[in-house]
Chains A and B, each alone.
Chain A
Amino acid sequence: MTTTNDPPAKGQDGRDRSLPVIANPSRRTAVKGAFATLGAAAFVAAVSPLRQAAQRSSAAEFMQSHYKRLTDEEKRQVIERLEAEAKENHGVEVEIADDRPIPGTKFVYAINLSVCNGNGKCVEACHKENNHDRSTGQSYIRVLEMPKGTMDMEQGNTTYSGVVPKDDKFYLPVQCQQCDEPPCVDVCPVKATWKEEDGIVVVDYNWCIGCRYCEAACPYHARRFNWKQAEIPAEEINPDQSYLSNRIRPVGVVEKCTYCLHRTRRGKLPACLEACPTGARVFGNILDPDSNIRWILENKRVYILKEELGTKPAFFYYFD
C-alpha cells in the first residue's frame, strides 16, 4: 500500500472534523466506554427473545447424544424426559417406545393406481396418527389428481376438490419412498437421518439441526419441517408413540413418514393403509415369499416413481 498524499489532507473538506469531545483523549475514552456499554446492553436486549427459546429446552436435551450412541439406560432416561415434557406441554399421558426393526424384515409398500379414487382418507389418517400440527393440516402423504394418459406429474394437481373419482382422472398418492439409495441420508451433515435394517428411513428429532438440506435433496417431497411447535388438542393426541416416529416433534427439525414403525414393527399395518376404503394399499415384508406384497410385485405391472434418478424406492405403484 502506498501513501501518495502524506499527511492525509484533513479538515479542508470537513471529512475529518471532529466533535470537541472526540478531540479530547480522556473524555473520548470515557465516551467510547459509555457507547460500548450501551452497545452491549442493546445487544442483550436485542437477543432477549432467545431466553424464551431457552426455556423451552432443558440442559439434558441440549446435552443429549446421538440416538445410536445412547446406552439403554440413557435411552430410558431420554424417553422418560420426553414423556414428562409431553405431559407438561401438551397435558397428556403418552407412552413412547423404542421400536427396533424385526430381524428378517424388509418393509415395502405398493399402491394399486387402478383402484385408488383420491378420497384422501390416507392423508387424514396420517395427520392424526402421527400427531401433526392441526393448524397447518400437515401430513406425510400428498395425492396428485392426474389426467388419464400421462405419468408426467407436471400435469397433476394436489389441490383438487369436488366429488372423486372424476371420470377423466386417476389418483397418485405420494409419500416417503424409503429409498434404498436415499439422497436425503447422504446429504445430512450430522447423520441425524439414516436407513434402518428393515428399510425404513428415520430421523432422530433430537439430533437434527434443521438445515433442511434433506428437504432439498428428496425428489419425492417426502420431508417436512417443523416451522412452528405442533399444536394439538390434548384429547386428539395419539398417545401410542415411538421415539423414531410419531412422538410430538420439537420445533425446528425435519420429520418424515416412517411407515408407521410404531405400528408396523409391532405387527400392525400403517395407519394410511387401515384408513383406505378402496383397498388400494398393500404393505408387507418383501423377504416373506408368501406375502401379498411379494405376489403383487411378481405378477402385476409395477411402476416406480422417478426410477431414472437411481434412488431405488421401496415403494411401488401397480395397475390391474
Chain B
Amino acid sequence: MSSTTAILTSDDHRSDESHLLSYPRFLKRILYLATEGSFGFYAWMTALTAVTLVGANAWANQVAGGMIGTNMTDHVSWGLYIANFTFCVGLAAGGVMMVIPAYLYDDEDMHKVVIVGETVAIAAIVMCTLSVIVDLGRPDRFWHMIPGLGEFNWPMSMLTWDVIVLNGYLLINLHVVGYLLYMRYLGRKPDPKWYIPFVFLSIFWAISIHTVTAFLYCGLGGRPFWNTALLAPRFLASAFVSGPAFIILVMRVMRLTTGYTAPVGPARTLIQIIRVAMVVNLVMLASEIFTLFYTGGGHASAANYLFFGAHGHNGLVPWIWSAIALNLLGTFLFFLPSAMERSTVRIVACLCCIVGIWIEKGMGLIIPGFIPSTLHEIVEYTPSLIEWKVTLGIWAFGMLILTVLIKLVTSVFTGQVSSKEPTAMS
C-alpha cells in the first residue's frame, strides 16, 4: 500500500480550483488507491469478485430460465432474496446508532469513527437494492417503477415508499461520506451547513427505512403472522443489534489490516446500545410468543409451524431454534465484562447476534408468513442452489464495495492521499 502513494498524491491542486474539477480528481485518486494493497488484499478482492461472478451467473441463468430455478412457489412466493433484503435494511439502519451518539450527544470519539457506520449503510443499501432486483420476475421492466417514466403507485403501495426511503438514505449517506472525505482531502474544516442538516435528516431517515420495510409486511391483513403492530418496533430493535455488531466487526478488521486503531470508546458505546436493544428485542419476542400461543387459534398456526412444526412438516424448526439459541448466547456474551475489551468474546458475540438476527428476520419471519398459505395449505420452502449463489454473490459484492469504501476512508483519514501535502511513506 505504501510504495506508490507518492505518485497518487502529486501536488496538483490549486486552491482556487473549481470543485467541479477537483472533486472528480479526488474520486479518481482515491479509487485508484483503493485498488492498491498487499497480497492479502488482492486475494480478498479476487475471492469476492469470484463469488460475485458466480452470483451474477446464477442470476443470469435465473432470468434466462425463469424463476422456476428458485424454490419459491405460488404458496411461498417470497424466499431467501426478500429475507436477505429485510436483514440488509436493518444493517443499513443500524449505522444510525453511531450517528446519534456522535451528533446528538457530541461523543467526540464516536465522531471520529461515525463515517464507518455510514459506509456500512451505503454497502448495505446496495445489497438491499440488489436483493429486490434479483427477486423481480421481469428485471427488464425495472423502468416501470421510475416516477415520470413509468407508473409509480405512490402513496398507496408501501413498496414505492420503500423505494423512496432506501434511495434517499443511500443519497444522504453518499453525500455525507463524500463531503467529509473530500474536505479532509482538501485539508479544510468541513462546513457544518453542508453536512449537519443531512446528518440529522439521516437519523430520521434511518428509522424510516426499517419502519417502512416492516410496513411492507405488517399492513397485509391476509397474513396474520406479519399483521402485528410489534413488527416495526421489533425490526428496529434487532437492527440496532445487527448494525452495531457488524460495525464492530468492521472496525476490528480495519485494526488488523490497515494497522490503525479506533479509540476504545465507540465500540463500548455500541455494545451498551446492543445490550439494551437486544434485551428489548427479546422481550418483544416473548410478548409476541405469549400473545400467539396463549390466544391460540388461526393466528398461531404459522407460529406453531415455525416453532414446533405442523402436520408432519417442520422445515423451519431447526432455523428458528438456532436463531433463538444464537441470540441468547450472543446476548449473554455481550453482557460479560470481557465484551467491553478488545476480546474474542466480543467478536463471537457479534457473530452470534448477526447470524441469529439474519435467521430471525428472514427464514424465521418472511417464510413463515406464507406457511400455512392463505388457504391454510402447508407447502414448505428451502432455498435452491441458485438462490444461495445469488445471495452469496450479493453479499460478496456488498463486501467488495465496503472494502473499497473503508480503504478510501482510511487512506484519506491517515493522510495517505491529500491535495495538500504528498506523504510518501516508502
- Co-complex (A, B): yes
Residues in A lying within 8 Å of B, measured CB to CB = 1-10, 15-19, 22-23, 25, 28, 32, 35, 39, 42-43, 45-50, 52-54, 57, 62, 66, 142, 144, 152-154, 156, 158, 174, 183, 186-192, 207-213, 215-221, 223-229, 250-254, 306, 309-311
B269 at the interface (CB under 8 A from A): no
B291 at the interface (CB under 8 A from A): no
Nearest residue (CB) in A for B53 is: A46
A152 touches which of B75, B263, B298 (Cβ 8 Å): B298
Considering the chains assembled together, what is the distance between the CA atoms of A314 and B85 in angstroms?
35
Determine the main DSSP class of A at the interface with B: loop
Residues of the B chain whose Cβ atoms lie less than 8 Å from the Cβ of A7: 2, 425
A42 touches B138 (CB 8 A): no
Considering the chains assembled together, what is the distance between the CA atoms of A32 and B37 in angstroms?
11
- Contacts A25-B4, A154-B301, A306-B222 given; does A207 touch B140 at CB 8 Å: no
- Contacts A28-B4, A227-B68 given; does A186 touch B156 at CB 8 Å: yes
Most-contacted residue by chain B among A39, A47, A186, A209 (CB, 10 A)? A209
A218 touches B53 (CB 8 A): no
B66 touches A227 (CB 8 A): yes
B374 touches A220 (CB 8 A): yes
Nearest residue (CB) in A for B159 is: A189
A192 touches B144 (CB 8 A): yes
A19 touches B145 (CB 8 A): no
A190 touches B145 (CB 8 A): yes
Which among B87-95, B253-261, B329-337 touches the partner chain? B253-261
How does the 8 Å CB contact mask read for B213-236 relative to A, with 1 for contact and 0 for none? Answer: 000110011110000000000000
Residues of the B chain whose Cβ atoms lie less than 8 Å from the Cβ of A306: 222
- Contacts A1-B260, A4-B261, A189-B159 given; does A218 touch B222 at CB 8 Å: yes
- Contacts A1-B112, A221-B74 given; does A189 touch B261 at CB 8 Å: no
B152 at the interface (CB under 8 A from A): yes
Considering the chains assembled together, what is the distance between the CA atoms of A32 and B261 in angstroms?
29
Which among B56-64, B166-174, B191-199, B339-347 touches the partner chain? B56-64
Q: B426 to nearest A CB, angstroms?
A: 10
Considering the chains assembled together, what is the distance between the CA atoms of A99 and B31 in angstroms?
57
Considering the chains assembled together, what is the distance between the CA atoms of A215 and B4 in angstroms?
55
Residues of the B chain whose Cβ atoms lie less than 8 Å from the Cβ of A25: 3-4, 7
- Contacts A183-B222, A216-B223, A216-B369 given; does A189 touch B56 at CB 8 Å: no
Residues in B lying within 8 Å of A, measured CB to CB = 1-4, 7, 35, 38-40, 42, 46, 49, 53-54, 56-57, 59-61, 63-68, 70, 72-75, 77-78, 112-113, 115, 132, 135-142, 144-145, 150-153, 156-160, 163, 216-217, 220-223, 257-263, 298, 301, 369-370, 372-377, 409-410, 413-414, 425
Q: B254 to nearest A CB, angstroms?
A: 9
Q: B116 to nearest A CB, angstroms?
A: 8
Most-contacted residue by chain A among B78, B216, B370, B374 (CB, 10 A)? B374
A215 touches B74 (CB 8 A): yes
A190 touches which of B57, B150, B258 (Cβ 8 Å): B150
Residues of the A chain whose Cβ atoms lie less than 8 Å from the Cβ of B73: 227
Nearest residue (CB) in B for A46 is: B57
- Contacts A1-B410, A227-B68 given; does A207 touch B144 at CB 8 Å: yes
B298 touches A1 (CB 8 A): no
B157 touches A186 (CB 8 A): yes
Supply 17 A–B pairs (Cβ within 8 Å), ascending by A: A1-B410, A1-B414, A4-B261, A16-B1, A22-B39, A54-B140, A188-B153, A189-B145, A190-B152, A207-B151, A208-B141, A209-B145, A211-B137, A226-B137, A227-B73, A254-B137, A311-B221
Considering the chains assembled together, what is the distance between the CA atoms of A293 and B135 in angstroms?
42
Nearest residue (CB) in A for B261 is: A4
A42 touches B53 (CB 8 A): yes
B136 touches A209 (CB 8 A): yes
A50 touches B115 (CB 8 A): no
Nearest residue (CB) in B for A61 is: B140
- Contacts A9-B259, A52-B64, A156-B375 given; does A211 touch B136 at CB 8 Å: yes
B38 touches A15 (CB 8 A): yes
Considering the chains assembled together, what is the distance between the CA atoms of A52 and B374 in angstroms?
36
Residues of the A chain whose Cβ atoms lie less than 8 Å from the Cβ of B150: 66, 190
- Contacts A17-B39, A25-B4, A154-B298 given; does A47 touch B56 at CB 8 Å: yes
Nearest residue (CB) in A for B73 is: A227
Residues of the B chain whose Cβ atoms lie less than 8 Å from the Cβ of A3: 260, 413-414
Residues of the A chain whose Cβ atoms lie less than 8 Å from the Cβ of B157: 186-189, 213
Q: A127 to nearest B CB, angstroms?
A: 14
A46 touches B56 (CB 8 A): yes
B42 touches A227 (CB 8 A): no
Residues of the B chain whose Cβ atoms lie less than 8 Å from the Cβ of A1: 112-113, 115, 260, 262, 409-410, 413-414
Residues of the B chain whose Cβ atoms lie less than 8 Å from the Cβ of A158: 375, 377
Considering the chains assembled together, what is the distance between the CA atoms of A163 and B21 in angstroms?
80
Considering the chains assembled together, what is the distance between the CA atoms of A23 and B50 in angstroms?
24
A252 touches B66 (CB 8 A): yes
Q: B110 to nearest A CB, angstroms?
A: 11
B115 touches A49 (CB 8 A): no
Residues of the A chain whose Cβ atoms lie less than 8 Å from the Cβ of B77: 212, 215-216, 225
A211 touches which of B63, B156, B159, B258 (Cβ 8 Å): B159
Most-contacted residue by chain A among B140, B160, B375 (CB, 10 A)? B375
A217 touches which of B42, B220, B260 (Cβ 8 Å): B220
Q: B127 to nearest A CB, angstroms?
A: 17
Residues of the B chain whose Cβ atoms lie less than 8 Å from the Cβ of A208: 137-138, 141
Residues of the B chain whose Cβ atoms lie less than 8 Å from the Cβ of A223: 74
Q: B139 to nearest A CB, angstroms?
A: 8
B67 touches A252 (CB 8 A): yes
Q: Assuming A190-B152, A227-B73, what are 8 further A-B pairs, CB within 8 angstroms? A: A16-B2, A46-B53, A153-B376, A187-B156, A190-B153, A209-B145, A212-B77, A212-B78
Nearest first, the 4 closest Cβ-Cβ pairs linking A and B are A210-B137, A219-B222, A8-B259, A252-B137
Nearest residue (CB) in A for B63 is: A53
Residues of the B chain whose Cβ atoms lie less than 8 Å from the Cβ of A53: 60, 63-64, 140
A191 touches B151 (CB 8 A): yes
Residues of the A chain whose Cβ atoms lie less than 8 Å from the Cβ of B158: 187
Residues of the A chain whose Cβ atoms lie less than 8 Å from the Cβ of B376: 153-154, 156
Considering the chains assembled together, what is the distance between the CA atoms of A215 and B116 in angstroms?
38
A50 touches which of B2, B63, B159, B375 (Cβ 8 Å): B63
Nearest residue (CB) in B for A156 is: B376
Considering the chains assembled together, what is the distance between the CA atoms of A54 and B63 in angstroms?
10
Considering the chains assembled together, what is the distance between the CA atoms of A144 and B63 in angstroms?
34
- Contacts A43-B56, A57-B140 given; does A228 touch B66 at CB 8 Å: yes
A251 touches B221 (CB 8 A): no
- Contacts A18-B38, A252-B137, A309-B221 given; does A49 touch B57 at CB 8 Å: yes
